[in-house]
Amino acid sequence: MSTFQTLQIGVFILGYAAIIFEHLLNIHKTASSLLIAGACWTIFFLGSGLPIEDSIRLLDGHLTETSQIVFFLIGAMTIVEVIDTHNGFDVLTRKIQQCPSGMRLWLFGLTSFFMSGVLDNLTTTIAMISVLRKVVKPKEERWIIGSLVVIAANAGGAWTPIGDVTTTMLWMNGQISTLVVMKQLFIPCMVALTVATVLFQMIYRGNQESEQAAEIPKPDRFGNFVLVLGISLLIFVPVLKIFVHIPPYLGMLISLGILWAFTDLVHVPKKQRNHLKITAIMNKIDLSSALFFIGILLSIGSLEASGILTALTEGMQNYVTSEPLIAGTVGIASAIIDNVPIVAGCMNMYKMSVYPMDCAFWQMIAYCSGVGGSILIIGSAAGVTFMGMEKVDFLWYTKKVSLIALMSYLAGLGTFLLLN
């Protein structure tokens, strides 16, 4: 390993520590993530030895991938915020408020699980955290249920080809097919959700008898229609991807444009309804979460560009030969580093001539890369979104949730091995 690669790893670890100890340092995690990205790429430009044109080309490639995720995130957050501002989630919110407090975890978990399978884990987390804010007032309980939403959304996203970006990668590249992955992974993913929910209820039972949030405001007269239209437009995104092959970020921007035009036309006659237009609603979007994404993904991209992640996957191939151990390691690595480059490395390292379509190995990779990211809060897009929306402390999540997420992850993996 060269000096510049060692320096990159050192800077990444220091920046990662700054994110972990955000509240002790009083430095916002977004600032740390942006500094990591800038420092890692500066080291790459100075030490890689590549021509400047090639270095810029590599940076542009990672910026393109990062921008697609950020555009998707901003579009999804805006659509959900429009629905929320029109009180479109009123029906779901009332149902949750009326259910016994002991069933609240199950309702949020199951709703997030199945919604993620239809939409994706990122959009599902944004929507469910928006509902959670209306239902639960105490911060501690909101963080607990929100953590379950992250686990449920990641588990729900792993068993369908459109629920998680890594599952989509494997599906589009031909390693898995739709019906087989749904059949093979549904039960393991459901077991992971069930174990997590049971453990949360056992440990945090006392937090369930908490004060309810304030009364839900009267829904806007267009609220139900905006809810149906907004959810339909979110579902429209994976439909466009499947049938027209339009990238998800572009589909999300199209959906946002449709909703934007509709709300402008509906509210144009009355100035007192200007607060319901998207131009006003966008002021509520937490752009710091998007900037945090940019910093984290670009910093990981620098490690990939310098060959560090490739060396990691090659090391796995050289020293780890057991298929379950390989897949399990991918899941743990996905909690620490972004799962996309890890899975991309596996797709390049493990050839389909040895591991054909729909074999158990690729099913395990799909499960582990999707569900394993829940072990740490910054290990998945859902976790990072939850962290940004609710200002969740990294150490709090690690102390309260990581062990539960690890146990649920291992329970699902064990279930897969028993069934196969």
pLDDT digits (tens, 9 = 90+) for 91-143: 777 777 777 767 888 999 999 999 888 877 888 898 899 888 888 888 888 99
Please report where in the chains the tokens 């009267």 appear, as a residue. Answer: 218
Please give the residue that has the higher pLDDT: either 205 or 327. Answer: 327
Which phi-psi region, left, alpha or beta, contains residue 358 (left: φ > 0; alpha: ψ -120 to 50)? left
> Is the confidence at residue 214, as pLDDT, over 50?
no
pLDDT, position 387: 87
pLDDT, position 212: 47
Q: Which of 91, 189, 165, 80 has its CA nearest to residue 129?
A: 80
Q: Find all residues with CB under 8 Å of 344, minimum gap 6, and list them.
A: 169
Global pTM value: 0.77
Give the mean pLDDT of 310-328: 79
Domain count of the chain? 1
Tokens for 76, please give them: 């999804």
Residue 302's alpha-carbon distances to 1, 4, 61, 298, in angstroms, are 15, 12, 11, 6
Burial (Cβ within 10 Å: 0-12, 13-18, ≥19) of residue 295: buried
pLDDT, position 221: 65
State the pLDDT confidence band at 150, using cuts at 50, 70 and 90: very high
When mean pLDDT is compared over 2-6, 73-77, 200-204, 293-297, the highest value belongs to: 2-6
pLDDT, position 218: 57
- 212 DSSP 8-state letter: B
Helix (H) or strand (E) run with residue 353 in it: none
State the pLDDT confidence band at 39, using cuts at 50, 70 and 90: very high
pLDDT, position 210: 43
> Which backbone phi and psi does 14 adopt, to 5 degrees?
-65, -45
Q: Are 117 and 156 in contact (CB under 8 A)?
A: yes
The greatest distance separating any two alpha carbons of the chain, rounded to the nearest whole angstrom, comes to: 68
Tokens for 356, please give them: 């054909």
State the pLDDT confidence band at 293, using cuts at 50, 70 and 90: confident
pLDDT, position 289: 74
Q: Which of 115, 147, 125 has its CA nearest to residue 72?
A: 125
State the pLDDT confidence band at 253, using cuts at 50, 70 and 90: very high
* Average pLDDT of every residue of the chain: 84
State the pLDDT confidence band at 184, using cuts at 50, 70 and 90: very high
State the pLDDT confidence band at 199, using cuts at 50, 70 and 90: very high
pLDDT, position 209: 44
Tokens for 336, please give them: 């620490």
pLDDT, position 204: 67
Burial (Cβ within 10 Å: 0-12, 13-18, ≥19) of residue 316: buried
> Is the confidence at residue 1, as pLDDT, over 80?
no
pLDDT, position 152: 96
- 282 DSSP 8-state letter: G
Q: Which of 77, 37, 75 has its CA nearest to residue 247?
A: 75
Q: Find all residues with CB under 8 Å of 322, minimum gap 6, and list them.
A: none
State the pLDDT confidence band at 271, using cuts at 50, 70 and 90: low
The residue segments making up the domain with residue 364 are 3-419
Q: Are 182 and 413 in contact (CB under 8 A)?
A: no
pLDDT tens digits for range 354-368: 889 889 999 999 999
- 159 DSSP 8-state letter: T
